[in-house]
Amino acid sequence: DAMVIQNPRYQVTQFGKPVTLSCSQTLNHNVMYWYQQKSSQAPKLLFHYYDKDFNNEADTPDNFQSRRPNTSFCFLDIRSPGLGDAAMYLCATGLAGGPITGELFFGEGSRLTVL
């Protein structure tokens, strides 16, 4: 089945220790998104890649970076995690440039704990 896969599902890191979360997709979608969701909050868009073009949200801290080496993979790098970065990180894909549906396809998420 075509899908969006996130690894790891659970990540524990120490304060200030860099962490990388990965996302892969078999849908061949041209847009990949990273959302941050804290407990009882709305998922918040951090940034997205439209093909190779990186689009950062204005309020995304510099501590968060992303890489998309090819169509299938996208990474979220947190350079120096703080306690406030503990959250669920959701990767999603979408298809842009054709008929607009707005539908995104989500992975199961990576839950980050910062000690």
Partner 1 sequence: DQQVKQNSPSLSVQEGRISILNCDYTNSMFDYFLWYKKYPAEGPTFLISISSIKDKNEDGRFTVFLNKSAKHLSLHIVPSQPGDSAVYFCAAMDASGGGADGLTFGKGTHLIIQP
Query: Is residue 69 involved in binding partner 1 (CB under 8 A)?
Result: no
Q: For residues 59 and 27, give the distance between their C-alpha atoms in angstroms, rounded to a whole number.
A: 29
Query: Is residue 81 involved in binding partner 1 (CB under 8 A)?
Result: no
Q: Which is nearer to partner 1, 14 or 102 (CB)?
A: 102
Neighbours of 77 (CB within 10 A): 13
Neighbours of 109 (CB within 10 A): 18
The residue from 61, 90, 112, 114 that contacts partner 1 (CB under 8 A) is 90
The residue from 28, 55, 80, 113 that contacts partner 1 (CB under 8 A) is 55
Query: Is residue 2 involved in binding partner 1 (CB under 8 A)?
Result: no
Residues binding partner 1 (CB under 8 A)? 4, 6, 31, 33, 35, 40-45, 48, 50, 55, 90, 92, 94-97, 100-109
